[in-house]
Structure 1
Amino acid sequence: MIQYQNEVGPIVTGAKQNVCQGQRIWRKYGPLYESTKSVIAEQSLRASNLWNSTQKVIHQRADQVQQTKNTIDEEQRIINARLEQFFSVQHSPQLRSCYKQYERQVASLNRQLIDKYKVCSQSLDTILEHFEEEIVLEANFMSIASGEIEKLTKLCKVWQLKQLSYNHMGVLLCTVSGIGGINQRLATSLELCRDILLEMSPEDLNTPGCRTYQQLKMQFDQVYVDIQSCIEESQ
């Protein structure tokens, strides 16, 4: 019995020492400090994730406008190449006869296509510029919100929660109100960004000028097919 007590005694004593040491550390920092730091980290991560997802959509919308512009530019390049071919003087009498049949129609479509191409391109430029101006204003805060929340650690002096001698209530009020204010601004910016992004749907990119351009292009394509058929028949 005495031997058992002697063997267990040091273990129990060591365990008590570890518990006491843990309690001293816990009393030193406390759950208030750790939980406050955790809340700040979680809210900062949330703001960062919101910005990352919004930024992804912003880039997608901007790319849509640019792709639409690139498509229009490529279509006009093809039209110009066909017009050069049409107005070339190096044609046989048979080919000139085919081109002559459609000369007025091609000339009229050419003038209209050039005009509507400019209108369409300018409308897309305006949409992109308007989008970038508005989205920059609203997205700017979203991009820094995560960092602003992290700054609350120093701004609100969260380190004071480690010690009982400081005003914990003031620290907590500063932290809670700070996070609340940032989240409110973040929610407003997010809503406005979503409204702006909704205006960048594919339907909105199909402006009146671009619709007219596409209609004229279809007419030109049909005339080009008719000319090619005439050429094939004359050979």
Structure 2
Amino acid sequence: MLQVQGQIQRIWGQNGPLYESTKQLIASQSLNAARIWNDTQQAIFERSERLQVAKDKLDEDQRKVSARLELFFGSQYSAEWRTCSKKYELQVAHFNRELVDKYSICRNSLDHIMDHFQQEIVLEADFLRKASLEISGLSKICRTWQLKQPGFNHAGVLYCTVAGIGRINQRMTGCLELCDDILLEMTMEDLDTPSCLFYHHLKMEFDDVFAQIELCANK
């Protein structure tokens, strides 16, 4: 402990406590801004990934639907299959039209959410990304080196530093609030638009009908 105190005293003896404390203030605020950006960046990645998963699942579901419809309307299958499928022609024709229609609407809806998300988040996230460097840059802008020497305008340097940190932190707070609001809109519940919910419900009904046809044909 005495050794540490001695080191601090030697440093302060060289540069002065005002300079060292200001330097530490800038460093700690810069580190805090970096942590905020890392947390926000992770949240943005998770929401983007979640939306992409929803889009990929929708596309995969529709590929399975298309494959089953092709199978249903195929002419190369057994007489049993054709007999069983004949009972469901009107139902499947209805599913065919509705599933394609609702798939397109749902896909467009998810694309719109992604575009809106990216457009809204980019400006706010960009400032959060640069905030740590902006705070570090106050050392040069405010000429904190003047605090090492007597006779310079220490009050002006301190005001520049504190005001600069306050300005950046205030802007960060506003950006963070907007980012949080935008990220909140990206919950799974908000990805379940009416058209997407209708599509998934239709697909489950279609899967049930297709299972009945397979069961009938395999008897």
TM-score range, shorter chain: over 0.9
Query: Which protein shows a greater Rg?
Result: 1
Corresponding position of 1:65: 51
Q: Once the 2 structures are TM-superposed, how far is the Cα of residue 92 of structure 1 from its aligned partner?
A: 2.3
Q: Determine helix, strand or coil for the equivalent of 1:164.
A: coil
Partner Cα distance (1:39, 1:108) in 2: 68
- Percentage identity across aligned positions? 55
Matched, 1:89 2:70: no
Q: Deviations over 1:215-234 (max 9, x none)?
A: 1101100110110111012x
Corresponding position of 1:10: none
Partner Cα distance (2:207, 2:133) in 1: 55
Q: Once the 2 structures are TM-superposed, how far is the Cα of residue 91 of structure 1 from its aligned partner?
A: 1.9
**Structure 2 residue corresponding to 1:144, chosen from 125, 130, 134:** 130
Corresponding position of 1:56: 42
Q: Structure 2: which 5+ runs fail to align? A: 1-5
Matches within 5 A, 1:1-235: 26-233=12-219
Q: Determine helix, strand or coil for the equivalent of 2:90.
A: helix
Q: Tell me the number of residue pairs that the alignment of Structure 1 and Structure 2 aligns.
A: 213
Partner Cα distance (2:114, 2:102) in 1: 18
Partner Cα distance (2:200, 2:9) in 1: 76
Question: What is the Cα-based RMSD across aligned positions, in Å?
Answer: 1.5
Q: Determine helix, strand or coil for the equivalent of 2:218.
A: helix
Partner Cα distance (1:33, 1:219) in 2: 72
Q: Deviations over 1:20-61 (max 9, x none)?
A: xx9786444101001100000000000000000000000000
Are the equivalent residues in 1 in contact too, given 2:81–2:213 (CA < 8 A)?
Answer: no
Could you state the TM-score of these two structures normalised by the residue count of structure 2?
0.94
Partner Cα distance (2:78, 2:161) in 1: 84
Q: 1:23 to 1:37 in 2, by over 3 A?
A: closer
Corresponding position of 1:8: none
Q: 1:29 to 1:140 in 2, by over 3 A?
A: same
Partner Cα distance (2:176, 2:140) in 1: 26
Are the equivalent residues in 2 in contact too, given 1:40–1:149 (CA < 8 A)?
Answer: yes
Partner Cα distance (2:12, 2:123) in 1: 45
User: Which amino acid in structure 2 is aligned with residue 207 of structure 1?
Assistant: T
User: Which amino acid in structure 2 is aligned with residue 202 of structure 1?
Assistant: M
Q: Once the 2 structures are TM-superposed, how far is the Cα of residue 63 of structure 1 from its aligned partner?
A: 0.5
User: Which amino acid in structure 2 is aligned with residue 67 of structure 1?
Assistant: V
Are the equivalent residues in 2 in contact too, given 1:28–1:163 (CA < 8 A)?
Answer: no
Partner Cα distance (1:208, 1:46) in 2: 41
